[in-house]
Structure 1
Amino acid sequence: MAFTSSDICKIIFAIFIPPVGVFLERGCNADFCINILLTILGYIPGIIHALYIILKY
């Protein structure tokens, strides 16, 4: 699977601001809300979820 420049930008956003990376990939839906909740509860789970969403879709 080849990464495009937009994927790399999303991954960078996912590391620093996880909800932004998910928003860029999936928009404002349940995944975005879950990621905000995970980021509030703990920064690392938010990053893991964001990277999962970006790499899955």
Structure 2
Amino acid sequence: MTGKDHKRFNKKNSQLVLRLDRDERDAFVTLCKELDTSAAREIRRFIRSFMKENSRT
């Protein structure tokens, strides 16, 4: 699989909409930037970790 094919295969195709306080959101995004990461990456990491820790299989 070429790099292009790999990117197309792993493309995200769903969204999760969250409502949160603007100040909290801004502080989170700022902290992510300071840590050289993205808010989306950290939220995905949290979701995967949460699912793994709470899996009932």
Q: Does the TM-score normalized on the shorter chain lie above 0.5?
A: no
Structure (1/2) with the larger helix percentage: 1
TM-score by length of structure 1 reads: 0.31
Over alpha carbons, which structure has the higher Rg? 2
Higher relative CO (CA 8 A, sep ≥ 6), structure 1 or 2? 1
TM-score by length of structure 2 reads: 0.31
